[in-house]
């Protein structure tokens, strides 16, 4: 090989790597390397939490990685030492979370960055906080010091012979919070899968380690039963908006699950998402999701967290097909845009006739959070290949028979996805494409996919509001 050719190849490799990884987040590596001269020790949960005192900021690992054993010990510590002014931050927590009990109001203040069912009542009673934020920006809350972390309570897979653990099925915000924490207390769970990707942490960084064999939170086999309406919506999405070779992002809920279930005739799908569950595994086992057509990280299912059945966790354990990374990587706009035929599928609670989308609240009551919806709604249509799609899906009516497509948003409801971000809106009655449409045209498109019994009233309401009859 000539020197000139070698230089050209070297330059080409640098360009190729930079094309993949420049303009993206710089992932933290502090916890990847062993801490010289420090050997962590196993202690009981009560011994570990004895180091927590009043006026402490605590980060709690999320989803299936919620360190319930440590949370129970923390509450015992609060009781025995009469602690107060304990400030917690977290996303969705699964399993037993005693800190949500009203007896701890005034002692433990929970700050939900995405509201979980256990803390929803507290938030709406003013006994807990809710911070609206894009999922892609949550890690920077910790790395910037905007949210202080005195203690990070996390769950990890058991260390290998060199002392390396993984963050298991929940990397999203945990890596940033743990890296920023003054002390890390790790719950070493024998049931936590060992995951691949940017998930490795060395146990020498742990101030204390606590062992448990309690199963991590999991879905029951079969999952939630999908309604006929949800199945219809999933079929419409799969048959009309998901191309062969598409890269998928899937939000949380029955509708994204129903869309996956309707893709059994597709070919060469890929996944780049913030989360995934059993529906993805089913399509992998069928050879439908193979990640072979992905322009970015081909061959890998990329996600920041996962939640599924016990069989699901067995499938991803130490499996190099799955790449887990923090959510400021998975949801970063420049990373998302590199994927081919990037197709995001998310759900909503309500939409008005102008295209404003409500996803985190029901009227004046807060319900969930922003999550990654806006991250992907903003990025997917602007994929570098020009073939991306952003989809919002919702039933046309609530279970009580009220329309979800409304002239005005319910008082108190908050907009998560703006009318300028709105693209494809899907109900069981069809698809409305709002991009480039005027308010008059949007109202017409949305009325066409509303429940037939609501269309006349919506037309009248649209005329009253816009002073013009909706039309194509």
Same domain, 251 and 200: no
* Domain assignment of residue 305, yes or no: yes
251 and 182 inside one domain: no
Cα–Cα distance between 205 and 69 in angstroms, integer? 20
pLDDT in tens, the chain (472 residues): 444 433 343 333 333 333 444 566 778 899 999 999 888 899 999 999 999 999 999 999 999 999 999 999 999 999 999 999 999 999 999 999 999 999 999 999 999 999 999 999 999 999 999 999 999 999 999 999 999 999 999 999 999 999 999 999 999 999 999 999 999 999 999 999 999 999 999 999 999 999 999 999 998 876 668 899 999 999 999 999 999 999 999 977 889 889 999 999 999 999 999 999 999 999 999 999 999 999 999 999 999 999 999 999 999 999 999 999 999 999 999 999 999 999 999 999 999 999 999 999 999 999 999 999 999 999 999 999 999 999 999 999 999 999 999 999 999 999 999 999 999 999 999 999 999 999 999 999 999 999 999 999 999 999 999 999 999 9
Query: Structure tokens of 297?
Result: 């990280």
CATH code of 57's domain: 3.40.1080.10
Yes or no: say if 62 and 173 are a contact pair by the CB < 8 Å rule: yes
pLDDT at site 3: 41
What is the token pair recorded at 64? 């299936």
Max Cα-Cα span within the chain: 76
Return the pLDDT at 223.
60
Domain boundary among 161, 185, 212: 212
DSSP 164: E
> For residue 71, what are its two tokens?
């949370």
Pull the structure tokens for residue 418: 């703006």
Among 188, 212, 236, identify where a domain stops.
212
**Cα–Cα dist 452/276, whole Å:** 34
Coil, helix or strand at residue 257:
helix
Distance CA 121, CA 130 (A): 11
Contact 363, 411 (CB under 8 A): yes
Do 359 and 275 have their domain in common?
A: yes
pLDDT of residue 13: 33
DSSP sequence for 50-82: TT--SSEEEEE--BTT--HHHHHHHHHHHHHHT
Q: Which residue has the tokens 């015992």?
A: 76
Domain-located, residue 39: no
Tokens at residue 94, please?
Answer: 């699964």
List the domain range (segments joined by +) for residue 441. Answer: 228-466
Query: Whose CA is closest to 279, among 311, 320, 240?
Result: 311
In this prediction, residue 222 carries a pLDDT of: 62
How does strand 86-90 pair with strand 108-112? parallel
36 assigned to some structural domain: no
235 and 142 inside one domain: no
Do the domain assignments include residue 15? no
Six token digits for residue 163: 């002392």
Task: Looking at the structure, tell me whether residues 331 and 436 fall in a common domain.
Answer: yes
Please report the pLDDT score of residue 220 as a whole number: 84
Total domains present in the chain: 2
Domain containing 422 — which CATH number? 3.40.1080.20
Q: How far is CA 72 from CA 167, 208, 419, in A?
A: 20, 16, 43
Domain shared by 330 and 431, yes or no: yes
Residues 302 and 408 in one domain: yes
What's the number of CA atoms in the CB half-sphere (13 Å) around residue 468? Answer: 12
Q: Which two tokens stand for residue 346?
A: 């998310």
Note whether residue 253 is domain-resident.
yes
Domain-located, residue 223: no
**Quick one: tokens of 444?**
């017409």
Helix, strand and coil percent figures for the chain, each rounded to 5: 30, 20, 45
Q: Say if residue 445 is in the same domain as residue 407.
A: yes
> What's the pLDDT at 23?
62
130: in domain:
yes
121, 239: one domain: no
Q: Which two tokens stand for residue 437?
A: 């449409």
Nearest in space to 28 (alpha carbons), one of 195, 177, 160: 177
**What is each CA distance from 300 to 282, 303, 369, in whole angstroms?**
16, 9, 28
**Which distant-in-sequence residues (6+ apart) come within 8 Å of 401 by Cβ?**
none
Return the pLDDT at 22. 52
Which residue of the set 230, 274, 350, 459 is catalytic? Answer: 274
In a domain, 320, yes or no: yes
**Of 375, 311, 385, 305, which is closest to residue 344 (Cα–Cα)?**
375
pLDDT score, position 256 = 87
β-strands 108-112, 357-358: how paired?
Answer: unpaired
In terms of domains, do 241 and 140 share one?
A: no
Distances in whole angstroms, Cα of residue 305 to Cα of each of 61, 154, 156, 218, 412: 11, 14, 13, 13, 31
Which of 212, 242, 264 marks a domain boundary? Answer: 212
| Separation in Å, CA 365 to CA 57, 123, 362 | 26, 9, 5
SS3 state at 306: strand
Whether 288 and 182 map to the same domain: the answer is: no
Q: For residue 213, give Cα distances in angstroms to 99, 203, 210, 330.
A: 22, 18, 10, 30
Same-domain pairing of 203 and 232: no
Is 225 a catalytic site residue? no
């Amino acid at each position: 090989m000539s020197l000139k050719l070698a230089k050209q190849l070297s330059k080409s490799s640098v360009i190729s790597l930079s094309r993949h990884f420049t303009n993206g987040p710089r992932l933290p590596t502090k916890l990847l390397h062993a801490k010289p001269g420090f050997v962590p020790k196993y202690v009981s949960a009560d011994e570990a939490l004895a180091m927590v005192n009043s006026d402490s900021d605590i980060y709690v690992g999320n989803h299936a990685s919620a360190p319930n054993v440590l949370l129970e010990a923390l509450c015992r510590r609060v009781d025995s030492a009469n602690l107060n002014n304990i400030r917690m931050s977290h996303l969705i927590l699964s399993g037993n979370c005693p800190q949500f009990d009203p007896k701890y109001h005034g002692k433990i203040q929970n700050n939900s960055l995405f509201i979980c069912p256990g803390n929803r009542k507290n938030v709406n009673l003013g006994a807990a906080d809710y911070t609206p934020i894009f999922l892609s920006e949550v890690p920077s809350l910790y790395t910037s010091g905007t949210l202080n972390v005195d203690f990070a309570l996390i769950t990890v897979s058991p260390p290998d012979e060199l002392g390396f653990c993984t963050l298991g099925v929940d990397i999203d915000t945990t890596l940033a919070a743990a890296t920023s924490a003054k002390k890390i207390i790790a719950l070493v769970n024998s049931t936590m899968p060992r995951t691949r990707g940017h998930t490795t942490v060395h146990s020498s960084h742990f101030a204390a380690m606590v062992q448990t064999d309690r199963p991590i939170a999991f879905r029951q086999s079969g999952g939630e039963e999908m309604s006929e309406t949800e199945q219809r919506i999933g079929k419409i999405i799969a048959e009309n908006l998901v191309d062969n070779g598409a890269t998928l992002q899937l939000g949380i809920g029955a509708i994204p699950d129903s869309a996956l279930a309707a893709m059994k005739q597709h070919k060469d799908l890929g996944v780049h998402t913030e989360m995934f569950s059993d529906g993805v595994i089913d399509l992998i086992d069928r050879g439908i999701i193979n990640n072979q057509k992905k322009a970015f990280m081909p061959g890998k299912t990329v996600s920041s967290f996962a939640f599924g059945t016990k069989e699901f966790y067995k499938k991803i354990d130490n499996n190099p097909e799955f790449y887990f990374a923090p959510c400021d990587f998975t949801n970063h706009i420049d990373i998302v845009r590199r994927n081919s035929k990037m197709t995001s599928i998310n759900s909503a609670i309500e939409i008005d006739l102008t295209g404003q989308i409500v996803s985190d609240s029901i009227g004046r009551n807060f319900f969930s959070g922003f999550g990654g919806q806006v991250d992907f709604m903003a990025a997917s249509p602007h994929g570098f290949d020009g073939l991306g799609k952003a989809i919002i899906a919702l039933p046309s009516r609530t279970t009580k028979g009220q329309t979800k497509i409304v002239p005005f948003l319910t008082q108190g409801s908050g907009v998560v996805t703006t009318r300028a971000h709105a693209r494809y809106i899907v109900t069981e009655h069809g698809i409305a494409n709002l991009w480039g449409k005027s308010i008059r045209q949007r109202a017409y498109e949305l009325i066409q996919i509303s429940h037939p019994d609501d269309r006349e009233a919506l037309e009248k309401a649209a005329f009253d509001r816009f002073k013009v009859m909706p039309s194509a």
